[in-house]
């Protein structure tokens, strides 16, 4: 254990790329078919098998996946969707692509997830019911969807949220960028809502460099997303016997490459190992930090299995030795990285100005923002790395 300063910087996240993954990518580069081909189809099939879901559609990013899912349900400028105030901008950004309005909810103080209570509170405050449908009070826009976000890998109460969605005839589009391979009740995330969107960004549980996946149980919507991810073309080149094709929809350029898919296929084989290692690190942190004054630790899911994408602590300024910002700087001085997940949506200038959000509507999110810090957590961390983080945090906050 290094009791001073690490010789090398430890970031809060790094991808774990095996030699098998490198070989797989090299094979694709040599094959001559490097995009929208056999590896993408295999990755989609393997992912569906892993989740046990009906349809998986590979895309260029989770942001693209959210955009395509919203497009598939008919989102437009006269629409609105409800999502969490604690999320990355991609969630609300995808709603704004349609000139639609994002309605924000506050979050649970422990999990920082949307709950049935925070969902219903936002519906009561911002919405009204007319002819059995939900509309915004201020703009008369029709609410079409709920986008729950599984922060850090802790799953939302999907049964409760789906019950609310059915009550108001809304789609459920899960932002599961952090939630692979999380479990809610007896099923993996990816089998609950109408759509689930996963991220394979470089810091995620598995990576394709850049990329994402949309899972859905709806065949009609799956077919549309497959078309609209690549210009609305009815059949990709790999699947059609001749040069002829038809454009059936106005689409986008959101397809995944075979290079990315080859990496994803290899990563998927290691997904359980990656999760087990992250869980072991989270357990080591929990045992080491449980008695530090003023520190709140993340908890295992009561209704499922945490994916441990992030290890987020909160520091109570009334009881901890120092605040979040000071701890982050002290860790940086010791060559240890950290991050914050997330700056609430209502704090960003674009959203605050455009939608006039009031911080007083989101007290739990504000409290989280003032206190939260993500510590290093990734499968490639060795025991010395973990010990360095534990020593540094305890040395800073206890001495």
Regarding whether 180 and 304 lie in a shared domain, the answer is: no
Measured distance CA(210)–CA(24) in Å, rounded: 16
Per residue in 308-334, pLDDT (tens digit) is: 999 999 999 999 999 999 999 999 999
Among 373, 399, 377, which Cα is nearest to 389's?
Answer: 377
Instruction: Tell me whether residue 170 is in a domain.
Output: yes
Give the pLDDT of residue 2.
42
Of the residues 251, 269, 287, the one at which a domain ends: 269
Q: Which of 147, 101, 111, 17 is nearest to 341 (CA)?
A: 111
Domain stop point among 269, 298, 318: 269
Query: Residue 320: what pLDDT?
Result: 97
Cβ neighbourhood burial of 219 (10 Å; 0-12, 13-18, 19+): exposed
Same-domain check for residues 244 and 371: no
Catalytic residues: 204
Give the structural domain span for 110. Answer: 19-269
Residues in the chain with pLDDT values less than 70? 1-4
What phi and psi, each to the nearest 5 degrees, are found at residue 372? -85, 145
Tell me: do 43 and 170 sit in the same domain: yes
Task: Identify any residues that bridge with 315 across adjacent strands, giving them in sequence order.
Answer: 295
Q: Are residues 200 and 307 in the same domain?
A: no
Q: Is residue 295 part of a domain?
A: yes
Could you tell me if 39 and 179 lie in one domain?
Answer: yes
Cβ of 81: how many Cβ atoms within 10 Å?
Answer: 26
SS3 209: strand
Mean pLDDT of the chain: 97
The pTM assigned to this predicted structure is: 0.97
Residue 293: CATH number of its domain: 3.90.1150.10
**pLDDT (0 to 100) of residue 363:** 99
Last residue of a domain, one of 247, 269, 291: 269
Residue 8 lies in a domain: no
Q: Does any domain span residue 90?
A: yes
Number of domains in the chain: 2
């Amino acid at each position: 254990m290094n009791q001073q300063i690490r010789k090398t910087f430890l970031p809060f996240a790094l991808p774990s790329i095996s030699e098998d993954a490198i070989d797989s990518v090299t094979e694709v580069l040599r094959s001559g078919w490097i995009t929208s081909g056999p590896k993408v189809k295999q990755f989609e099939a393997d992912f569906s098998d892993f989740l046990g879901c009906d349809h998986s559609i590979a895309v260029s990013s989770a942001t693209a996946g959210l955009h395509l899912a919203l497009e598939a349900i008919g989102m437009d400028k006269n629409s609105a969707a409800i999502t969490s105030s604690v999320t990355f901008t991609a969630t609300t950004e995808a709603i704004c692509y349609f000139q639609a309005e994002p309605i924000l909810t506050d979050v649970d103080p422990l999990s920082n997830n949307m709950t049935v209570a925070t969902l219903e509170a936002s519906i009561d405050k911002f919405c009204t019911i007319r002819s059995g449908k939900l509309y915004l009070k201020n703009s008369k826009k029709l609410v079409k969807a709920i986008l729950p976000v599984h922060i850090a890998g802790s799953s939302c109460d999907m049964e409760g949220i789906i019950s609310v969605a059915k009550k108001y005839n809304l789609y459920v589009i899960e932002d599961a960028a952090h939630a692979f391979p999380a479990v809610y009740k007896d099923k993996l995330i990816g089998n609950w809502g109408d759509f689930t969107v996963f991220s394979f960004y470089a810091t995620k549980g598995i990576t394709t460099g850049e990329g994402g996946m949309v899972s859905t149980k709806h065949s009609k919507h799956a077919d549309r997303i497959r078309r609209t991810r690549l210009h609305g073309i009815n059949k990709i080149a790999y699947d059609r016997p001749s040069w002829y094709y038809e454009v059936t929809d106005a689409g986008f350029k959101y397809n995944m490459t075979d290079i990315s898919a080859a990496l994803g296929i290899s990563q998927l084989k290691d997904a359980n190992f990656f999760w087990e290692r992250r869980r072991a690190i989270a357990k080591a942190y929990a045992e080491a930090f449980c008695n530090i004054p003023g520190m709140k630790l993340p908890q295992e899911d009561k209704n499922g299995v945490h994916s441990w994408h992030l290890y987020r602590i909160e520091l109570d300024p009334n009881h901890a030795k120092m605040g979040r910002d000071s701890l982050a700087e002290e860790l940086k001085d010791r060559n240890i990285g950290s991050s914050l997940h997330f700056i609430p949506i209502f704090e960003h200038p674009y959203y605050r100005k455009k939608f006039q959000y009031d911080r007083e509507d989101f007290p739990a999110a504000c409290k989280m923002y003032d206190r939260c810090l993500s510590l290093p957590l990734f499968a490639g961390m060795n025991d010395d790395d973990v010990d360095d983080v534990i020593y540094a945090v305890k040395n800073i906050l206890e001495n």
